[in-house]
Structure 1
């Protein structure tokens, strides 16, 4: 799943192990039951699956 947003950041809450990639760089692994805050404005974020991830956009 690809996220492109004009919002300043997003919060990801993971239920299962998930990976993400920002602007095509090396993938980052997020373990199950973790939270990550990412700068979203002017970035392209690819997430392995949204079935196990809650995404919250913060303005």
Structure 2
């Protein structure tokens, strides 16, 4: 195996790992932001529910 073939194979492998890690980070950020949105929505619902109940 030539040195150029080894370098090319290593570049392909490391690029694949890098893309996989980037996609993993994107999914992690998406899941975390979804959980934050769910929490904010729940908090808003509780606040509006208490506000409506105080007037009724």
Q: Name the TM-score, length of structure 2 as normaliser.
A: 0.12
Higher relative contact order (CA 8 A, sep 6+): 1
Work out which of the two has the higher radius of gyration on C-alpha atoms and give 1 or 2. 2
Q: Which structure has greater strand proportion?
A: 1
